[in-house]
């Protein structure tokens, strides 16, 4: 519920009245200051918009009935009515004009008393109605208003309390604040996960049956609401994998969302008769199709010094490895015909490049310094030195961003589009740097 005076906070509405509550109490009499909600959505979290709209029609009838009785009283006693009209005519005209604007903006938000200090009804955004009550002070200053709402609206606006407070302080009247509230609500609904009612009992029974068929030993994690399940699988090479399933209340009629750590997309073939076992079987088949790929990467990870990524995942397809020979382009071009698809990737690289790859255990950090020659750091905003001086006697590495800033500051450097030419900061030999167009 939104409560705003000096601050904005959210709390729930009071419990709804009993079914036999009198209409005057439900709608708010002339002297009442509160109106009690009777929405099933507020009490049980169940969408029930039609009874709420019926209640709004009763509120309209009650308001018209009160106005009609007041006019009849004036006709019977003109002497009493004239001073009342003279005293309240300006206020009532102002309230009528404001109410007309409010009804055009929020047709389901109605006044609950004659003073116009209590409004209750619904604010609509993206085709959904949210129960709300606004309590204005006697001076009808919106900045001192108290705003209450249902648990659904409270959850949607949970992260927008400070913005609501600012809009409440800046709004000149209730109509302008409701316009701001609806705008904030539209944005909040786009950034809020869909609020679902609890799944039916059949959902849980089907899910438990599927888990028992699959085997509880395959389950790694289940959240308390049975909406997220993590299953483990082991491929034929003994590698462990995990698949995360995000289920919706319509399971098994609709497939769950599958999150996997694979280098290729994983699409599930699903039918209403499918189960967790079928997903697990399809996941195992996908793992077997990537067996040779992971064997090659595991050999590289085990027998070479992988510089990037430091902790590769199963979906990572690139490896940046340390070498002790520079340059390699000439050997690669002259020996590419020696590539043999029948042997492993690492063996082919050794044959073509005519080198042995150093392992992390065989070398120390000091033996293979990769610190940038400009900033003297290894990592800069997640990037490692990836530019090396072309002179084999120098071979100093640099971060791309550091070298670009250095060369751009030299008066002797020249640039052509995204390529900059200059001198190495260490050996003064010619060095060329090609930058991405975004950084230039």
**What is the pLDDT averaged over residues 358-383?**
72
Please give the distance of CA 35 from its chain centroid, rounded to a whole number.
Answer: 36
**Contact (CB, 8 A) for 157 and 185:** yes
Res 256 pLDDT > 70? yes
CA-closest candidate to residue 134, choices 74, 178, 86: 178
CA dihedral 270, 314, 346, 396 (to 10 degrees): 140
Is 194 or 206 the better-scoring residue by pLDDT? 206
Judge contact between 237 and 291, C-beta under 8 A: yes
Q: Is the pLDDT of residue 63 over 60?
A: no
150-184 pLDDT tens trace: 888 888 888 888 888 888 888 888 888 888 898 88
Name the average pLDDT for the chain: 75
Tokens of 349: 């690289």
Query: How many degrees, rounded to 5, is the angle at CA 220 between CA 216 and CA 225?
Result: 90
Q: What one-character DSSP code corresponds to residue 192?
A: S
Look at residue 161 in the predicted model and tell me its pLDDT: 84
Confidence of residue 217 (pLDDT cuts 50, 70, 90): very high
Q: Inform me whether the pLDDT recorded for 194 exceeds 50.
A: yes
pLDDT of amino acid 213: 93
What is the helix (H) or strand (E) element at residue 118, kind and residue range? strand 118-125
| pLDDT tens per residue, range 100-135 | 787 888 888 888 888 888 999 998 888 788 899 999
Cα separation, 370 vs 360, whole angstroms: 14
Condensed to tens digits (0 to 9), the pLDDT of residues 374-420 reads: 898 888 887 888 888 878 788 888 888 899 888 888 888 888 888 88
pLDDT (0 to 100) of residue 13: 44
What is the C-alpha to C-alpha distance for residues 107 and 53, in angstroms, rounded to an integer? 11
Q: CA 74 from chain center: how many Å? A: 59
The partner residues of 387 in beta bridges, in order of sequence, read 398
Confidence of residue 286 (pLDDT cuts 50, 70, 90): very high
pLDDT tops 50 at residue 42 = no
- Burial state string for 338-364 with b = 16 or more CB within 10 A and e = fewer than 16: eeeeeeebbebbeebbeeebbeeeeee
């Amino acid at each position: 519920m939104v409560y705003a005076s000096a601050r904005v906070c959210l709390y729930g509405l009071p419990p709804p009245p009993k079914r036999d509550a009198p209409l005057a109490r439900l709608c708010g009499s002339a002297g009442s200051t509160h109106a009690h909600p009777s929405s099933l959505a507020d009490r049980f979290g169940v969408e029930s918009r039609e009874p709420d709209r019926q209640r709004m029609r009763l509120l309209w009838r009650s308001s018209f009935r009160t106005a009609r009785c007041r006019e009849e009283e004036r006709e019977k006693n003109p002497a009493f009515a004239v001073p009342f009209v003279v005293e309240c005519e300006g206020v009532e005209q102002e309230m009528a004009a404001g109410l007309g604007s409010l009804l055009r903006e929020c047709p389901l938000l109605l006044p609950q008393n004659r003073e116009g200090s209590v409004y209750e009804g619904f604010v609509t955004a993206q085709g959904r109605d949210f129960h709300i009550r606004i309590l204005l002070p006697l001076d009808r200053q919106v900045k001192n208003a108290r705003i209450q709402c249902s648990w659904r609206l409270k959850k949607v606006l949970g992260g927008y309390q400070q913005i609501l407070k600012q809009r409440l302080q800046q709004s000149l009247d209730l109509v302008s604040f409701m316009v701001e509230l609806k705008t904030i609500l539209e944005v909040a609904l786009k950034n809020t996960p869909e609020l679902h009612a609890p799944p039916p009992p059949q959902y849980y029974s089907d899910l438990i049956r599927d888990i028992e068929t699959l085997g509880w030993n395959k389950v790694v994690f289940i959240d308390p609401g049975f909406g997220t399940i993590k299953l483990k699988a082991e491929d034929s090479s003994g590698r462990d994998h995990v698949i995360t399933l995000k289920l919706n209340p319509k399971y098994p009629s609709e497939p769950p969302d599958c999150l996997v750590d694979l280098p290729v997309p994983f699409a599930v073939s699903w039918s209403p008769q499918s189960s967790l076992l079928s997903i697990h079987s399809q996941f195992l088949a996908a793992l077997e199709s990537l067996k040779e790929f992971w064997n090659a990467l595991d050999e590289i990870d085990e027998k070479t010094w992988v510089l990037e990524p430091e902790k590769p995942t199963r979906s990572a397809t690139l490896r940046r490895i340390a070498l002790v020979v520079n340059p390699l382009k000439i050997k690669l071009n002259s020996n590419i015909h020696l590539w043999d698809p029948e042997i492993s990737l690492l063996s082919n690289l050794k044959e073509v490049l005519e080198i042995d790859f150093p392992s992390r255990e065989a070398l120390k950090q000091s033996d293979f310094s990769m610190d940038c020659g400009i900033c003297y750091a290894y990592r800069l905003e997640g990037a490692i030195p990836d530019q090396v001086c072309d002179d084999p006697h120098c071979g100093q590495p640099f971060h791309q961003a550091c070298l670009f800033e250095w060369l751009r500051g030299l008066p002797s450097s020249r640039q052509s589009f995204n390529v900059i030419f200059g001198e190495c900061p260490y050996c003064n030999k010619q060095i060329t740097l090609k930058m991405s167009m975004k950084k230039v």
